[in-house]
Structure 1
Amino acid sequence: MDHKTALHTYLRLRRAELLGKVENLSEYDARRPLTPTGTNLLGLVKHVATVQLGYFGETFGRPSDKELPWLQENAEPDSDMWVPANESREEIIEFHHYSARHSDETIEALSLDAPGVVPWWPEERRNVSLHQILVHMCVETARHAGHADIIRELIDGSAGMKANDANMPARNSEESAAYRYRIEEAARTADLQRY
Structure 2
Amino acid sequence: MRTRDENKEQAIRQKAIKMIVDEGFDGLSMQKLAKAAGVSPATIYIYFKDRDDLILQLWIGEMKKMVDAVLKNFDPDASFEEGMRVQWMNRARFLVENPMSMHFMEQVKYSPYHNVSLTKIDSHFKEVMGKFVQNAIRRKELMKLPFEVYWSVAFAPLYQLVKTHISGRGLHGSPEKFELDEKTMNLTLKLVIKALKP
Length-normalised TM-score, structure 2 = 0.27
Q: Which has the higher contact order (CA 8 A, sep 6+)?
A: 1
Length-normalised TM-score, structure 1 = 0.27
Counting helix residues as a fraction of each chain, which structure ranks higher?
2
